[in-house]
Amino acid sequence: MATGGTAFISHVECSKHDMGAYHPECPARLSAIEDSLIAARIADLLVRYEAPLAGVDHLLRVHPRPYIEAVEATAPAHGIVHLDPDTAMCADTWAAALRAAGAGVLAADLVVSGRHPNAFCSVRPPGHHATRTRSMGFCIFNNVAIAAMHALEAHGLERIAIIDFDVHHGNGTEEIFSDDARVLMVSTFQHPFYPYSGTDNPAANMVNVPLAAGTGSDGFRAAVERIWMPALEGFRPEMVFFSAGFDAHIEDDMAMLRLVDSDYSWVTAKVKNVVDHTGRGRVVSMLEGGYSLPALGRSVVQHLKVLAGL
Ligand SMILES: [Zn+2]
């Protein structure tokens, strides 16, 4: 039975994952979001859940067992060990990674069952760069792919759309779902830019829109209107998953797109309107990037206000 309200899923262990001083993917990102919810007076209007640990069976839908075991074996007892040049593990990272993936699984359960119309997962490490067999770009497990696979395989959904507006191309998610007819992925990203993918003959179910450095609201919104929307409306998704990265914001030094706070409410509303008609409004949103702490907090508030109808 629907209880309504937007579910907000997080866990204190996600803030213990620490890749070292000065790493931009830092624990303060999650507290910046919490502070912004309070400042915007919406913290008490969300229904909070603690993220569970993902089970190995959930991870195995996306990642092969040797990769999962290699990540677990890399986790240090003390200090920091690198999985790749951008991504590191501390003693608390393994638990954080399982909570981040588990949040998406719980979110899918809550939304498909009708307990909540939609859910936001305020978690880290992020996931959209993680391929089946490789960590990269601050990502260890592909959280959004694990959540989408749970909706497809545990709940039997047949048409899922993944919406990725992070400034970086979600290469891992693309690799995992290329030519999977159950999934349509639409994305915008700065190009050419890390990870330098997304433009070389993407599969038919990948709707990739590269944007030049300096692109702002007008260019972003035109891409969504002209390229994302016809694809989404034609696909008629039963459920939508956001890879919600907020690093295309003009205040974010990680990249050179120039989105503003209101672009995040605008794009959320555009996508929500499609799935309101085709999929009972079912949305799961998972945090990806976003490294300017004030812009991240404000942008998440914009995104959540639309999801929660506030
Ligand atoms: Zn990013």
Q: What is the pLDDT of residues 171-214, one digit of tens each?
A: 999 999 999 999 999 999 999 999 999 999 999 999 999 999 99
pLDDT in tens, 58-91: 999 999 999 999 999 999 999 999 999 999 999 9
- Residue 115: the pLDDT is 97
Phi and psi at 286, nearest 5°, equal -120, 130
CA–CA gap between residue 73 and residue 122 (Å, rounded): 26
pLDDT-above-70 percentage for the chain: 99
For residues 83 and 93, give the distance between their C-alpha atoms in angstroms, rounded to a whole number: 11
State the pLDDT at residue 4.
79
| Residues 117, 285: Cα–Cα separation, whole Å | 12
Q: Is the peptide bond before 192 cis (omega within 30 degrees of 0)?
A: yes
What whole-number percentage of the chain has pLDDT above 90? 99
* Distance of CA 1 from the midpoint of ligand 1 (Å): 36
Residue 8 has pLDDT above 60, yes or no: yes
Position 283 scores a pLDDT of 98
Contacts 24+ apart (CB under 8 A), 91-95: 92/13, 92/16, 92/17, 92/18, 93/17, 93/125, 93/140, 95/13, 95/16, 95/53
CA of 3 to the centre of ligand 1 (A): 33
For the chain, give the mean pLDDT: 97
129 labelled catalytic: yes
- Ligand 1 (ion): which residues have CB within 5 A? 166, 168, 245, 247, 289
Respond yes or no on whether the N-terminal peptide bond of residue 64 is cis (omega within 30° of 0). Answer: no
Among the listed residues 175, 87, 103, 85, the one whose alpha carbon sits nearest the alpha carbon of residue 143: 103
Q: Residue 121: which H helix or E strand, with range?
A: strand 118-121
The structure's pTM equals 0.98
Catalytic residue among 11, 58, 128, 129: 129
Instruction: State pLDDT tens for residues 262-287.
Output: 999 999 999 999 999 999 999 999 99
CA 195 / ligand 1 centre spacing (Å): 10
